[in-house]
Amino acid sequence: MASNELGDFEAGLMARIFGPVMAVTIGGTAAVAASLGWMKLFPVLAQADGFESKSLSPEAQSAVQLNQEVEKT
């Protein structure tokens, strides 16, 4: 069983138990709650505005700058 099949099963089960509107409402609320929970647990991730670390080695910083210049052209 693939992960998407498991997700489909869970969604169908929730819709069967609670009805489709309530299942979507519960799922959306749970997704927002999970996001807020992760933001509370990992505040540094919530404040990050990119994937690169500010503590990169000089070689890595020059590679990032070179990549940004190449992407501009």
Q: Can you give the pLDDT at residue 1?
A: 72
What's this model's pTM, rounded to 2 decimal places? 0.58
Q: Can you give the pLDDT at residue 52?
A: 64
Neighbours of 14 (CB within 10 A): 16
Q: Can you give the pLDDT at residue 53?
A: 60
Report DSSP state, residue 53.
-
Residue with token string 């540094």:
44
Report domain extents, the chain: 3-72
Q: Can you give the pLDDT at residue 2?
A: 82
Q: What is the pLDDT along the chain (73 residues), one digit of tens a residue?
A: 788 899 899 999 999 999 999 999 999 999 999 999 999 999 888 887 777 666 778 888 888 888 888 888 7
